[in-house]
Structure 1
Amino acid sequence: KTTLLRIIAGLETADSGSILFSGEDTTDVHVRERQVGFVFQHYALFRHMTVFENVAFGLRIKPRGQRPSDAQIKAKVLDLLKLVQLDWLADRYPSQLSGGQRQRIALARALAVEPKVLLLDEPFGALDAKVRKELRRWLRRLHDELHVTSIFVTHDQEEALEVADRVVLMNAGRIEQVGSPQDVWDHPASPFVYGFLGDVNLFHGRAHQGEVEVQGVRIASAEADTAEDAKALAYVRPHDFDITRFVPGSGHAQGIVATIGRAIVVGPIARMELEPVEPNPDNPGSGNIIEAQISAQQYRELGLSEGDTVVASPRKARVFVEQGLGI
């Protein structure tokens, strides 16, 4: 992903293919002429320069004919510092700033040259979780205000789904899926996409004429409509299980009987690690731990605790049949 950003910026050359900005081929355009802003993970601010001088740097090194006057540079920099809400730090040095403040300054510096495209390579990767969340909300608001086309690289799926209008998922240098956050969440195009976007349970089973069978449970699946006793992968998210107490002799044809190995109840959510009583014959040696999630209220109403036996019934599953997957 970083290599792709560097190719777009002109810092590296692609072996094949083209780079288009608004339909215009810029593959052979020099990096200085591409009008690209770049924000790196590790700040990349000049330590010996003040915040003001860091932001002004890109303007001062422009060719003489394009360089703004000192007064114009001062006005531009102060406007940008106000935009990132750090105008009061103009005379500080990078070493005097927090990590979040440094990244805001790095972003202001990238915006100073009025880029056509803003490239952000895991800009919040070195920050703690709380600061990351605050900054991505701030970045989304800033983007809506400036309307600069931005490409944001991240390994954090929550970050991608929260910030982006359009998500591109890459795996080992190949694009697996492109779509809106809602589309890729609701309709993952491959096992990789499903497994990457949040917690998920993977079951190996058999697909046959519109159903997939995993651990003795049959689930209707449109993806299995044309399957004839084929191997399949079935993905079930933790919140897509119905959990009930196991009652001996009551029958449990539509659920997996399991014991609660571990339960974590925090706030409104109860997360459970379930250990099936009967291991999956299609997936031996896999650990067979099922992650399930219900409301804390339901957990208490059922009177559950670690060691109890329950029935986990999948409401839905995303199924990938053997053809073309190399299962």
Structure 2
Amino acid sequence: MQHFDVAIIGGGPAGLTAAMALSRSLRRVVVLDSVRPPRNVFAKEVHGIVGLDGVSPGEYRRRAWDDLKKYGMAELHEVTGTDVTPGPEDGFTVTAEDSRPMWARRVLLTAGMVDVHPEIEGFGECWGKTVIHCPLCLGWENRDRTWGVVTGDPEFAATAAAGFSAWSDDVIVLTDGATPAGEWGGAAVVEGKIRRLHHIGGDLRAVELADGTVIDRQTLLWQLDQRPVPLIAHLAEHRGLAMDEDGYVEVDGSFRTSVPGVYAAGDLVTEAQAAVESAAGGSGAAFQIIADTGRPSGPSPVGYPSAAQP
């Protein structure tokens, strides 16, 4: 059985940033990067990370692993994690599909979330282009267009009424059939279930409601429902991993979960989801693991110079 200081389950910005911090702190790391497509597979570019702004998600990962290989401390296993069980000793046995079990002193969960796409004609073609989940991620690319914010949350609608004016001076709220009570903060609100998105090659042109009403819109900000990946759901059901009422992993201010020795960061702990936010969380979690565990369990890789060498 292979032994590691830390097993990172998830190979996105949170997991890769954590792997870098841990590698530079001489921790032996294994990254389990699921074979399923990442959430941002529909996006052409990653934004907000200085020095990497505009690279594709695939290029981001390639560059990250090129950087990690220089340290010789991290291994990539392209497998899907299936379980994390305590022991033996002060650590965990990590199992994965089509892979031998491995042991890790600590575990960091960065597996992200799964978006639940609505069954609406045209949604898939527009998602990640002109139907977006985050204004900080793709607002620039959709600036100076007519926007619709799909939400049934009056508080979020009030934010949209004023907060998104940097990208568009024409913002309305589409409730998609929800009729919640509360103040909408001055937002123009259109009720009605959405049944179709009119577009040309993913370039949104209009939203069609169930009653046949067609509303001209060029961009939709749509925060989808999400669910945890199967491993996280399994750990919540069988290993005592605490989740909040919205399905996100509960962590304290130091990225510790309810399971001692297991940490979590990135999209699976918060609705505030962006590559740069995930990277920051991964870095913070790595520093906490380093502080909690003290010295690494093994020596530097053979042939890698120590800090004392010129």
Higher relative contact order (CA 8 A, sep 6+): 2
Highest CA radius of gyration, 1 or 2?
Answer: 1
Please state which structure has a larger fraction of its residues in helix: 1
Q: TM-score, normalised by structure 1?
A: 0.23
Q: TM-score, normalised by structure 2?
A: 0.24
